[in-house]
Amino acid sequence: MILYQAKDYKDMSRKAANIISARVILKPNSVLGLATGSSPEGTYKQLIEWYQKGDIDFSSVKAVNLDEYKGLDKDSDQSYAYFMRKNFFDHINIDLNNTYIPNGLEEDEEKECKRYDEIIESLGEVDLQLLGIGTNGHIGFNEPDTCFAKGTHCVKLKEETIRANARFFEDENLVPKYAYSMGIKNIMNAKQVLLIASGKSKANAVYETLYGDIRPEVPSTILQLHKNVIIIADEEALSVVKEKGLL
């Protein structure tokens, strides 16, 4: 694992955008695995700015997202499909036909998970998988569990995840209880993983990711087994690592 220390959220976002933009410049038809949430917002903003200046071309890029809430329509303003359009896709020249996200409205879990795994497979290798991290170490919506999920699956969200994500909803009761998520095997198959973390609430999860025992109870620890992982964490997110004298 390579760790880049960032000063703050802005610095983290800029560093992450630099790595993604380099990837797209070197390989214009890259397959990008993308994430939603607060962590990547600044990264997307920076990439949009560079696109507008003419520095990056997304016309041949394919994008496959990690997850989607079950029960939400792609046009609902809380859905991850909507988030991606609003925060990224609508501002760059990616072909929307080359963007993929689980269908939150599909009731048949088996059918949807199979469909999404087939899409991921048909795209070939994901060149770069961008990840945020949950306070409990979840990646995608792979929540703490007793085993690692392999492929796309339907997850019952943990109370702490529902609480953390309630800030995007009018009321905590409106946060969906289930989500479709890529599995750990899908994530581990990416050629390169780029994990970004900002803020004190992520400090313990970052410490566990870097130094914890590898275990499904802290899903991000599996990344220690991937041969090409970059972590960009800001000062607050590295505070536990520092307290323990490891930096």
By CB under 6 A, name the one of 47, 61, 63, 66 that touches ligand F6R.
66
Residue 143 annotated as catalytic: yes
Check 103, 136, 165, 204 and give the catalytic one.
136
Tokens of 94: 């990616």
Residue entry with tokens 């041969």: 227
67 catalytic residue (yes or no): yes
Residue placing its CB nearer to ligand F6R in the complex, 4 or 168: 168
Four-CA torsion 132, 162, 41, 233, nearest 10 degrees: -30
Which span sits near ligand F6R by CB under 6 A: 32-40, 85-93, 186-194, 229-237? 32-40
Establish if 20 lies at the interface with ligand F6R (CB under 6 A).
Answer: no
Please check whether residue 232 is in contact with residue 12, taking contact to mean a CB–CB distance below 8 angstroms.
yes
| Region of residue 124 (phi > 0: left; psi between -120 and 50: alpha; otherwise: beta) | left
One-letter amino acid at 148 equals: F
**In sequence order, which residues have a C-beta less than 8 Å from that of residue 144 and are 6 or more positions away?**
136, 137, 138, 158, 216, 217, 218, 219
Q: Does 137 bind ligand F6R (CB under 6 A)?
A: no
Handedness of CA 198, 203, 205, 211 (dihedral sign): positive
Annotation marks residue 136 as catalytic: yes
The correct pick among 11, 37, 49, 217 for binding ligand F6R (CB under 6 A) is 37
Nearer to ligand F6R, 57 or 158 (CB): 158
Three-state DSSP at 6 gives: strand
CA geometry: angle at 67 spanning 141 and 205, to 5°?
30
Judged by CB under 6 A, the stretch of 34-42, 109-117, 203-211, 232-240 that binds ligand F6R is 34-42
Size of the site for ligand F6R (CB under 6 A): 14
77 catalytic residue (yes or no): no
Which CB atom, from 57 or from 216, has the smaller least distance to ligand F6R?
216
Q: Which of 112, 117, 143, 234 is catalytic?
A: 143
Q: Which is nearer to ligand F6R, 61 or 157 (CB)?
A: 157
Least Å from the CB of residue 234 to ligand F6R: 12
N residues, the chain: 247
Task: Decide if residue 140 touches ligand F6R (CB under 6 A).
Answer: yes
- What are the DSSP calls for 7-46, one per residue? SSHHHHHHHHHHHHHHHHHH-TT-EEEE--SHHHHHHHHH
13 binds ligand F6R (CB under 6 A): no
58 versus 141: smaller Cβ distance to ligand F6R: 141
Q: Which residues are catalytic?
A: 67, 136, 138, 143
- Residues of the shown chain interacting with ligand F6R in the complex, contacts defined by CB under 6 A: 35-39, 66-67, 132-134, 138-141
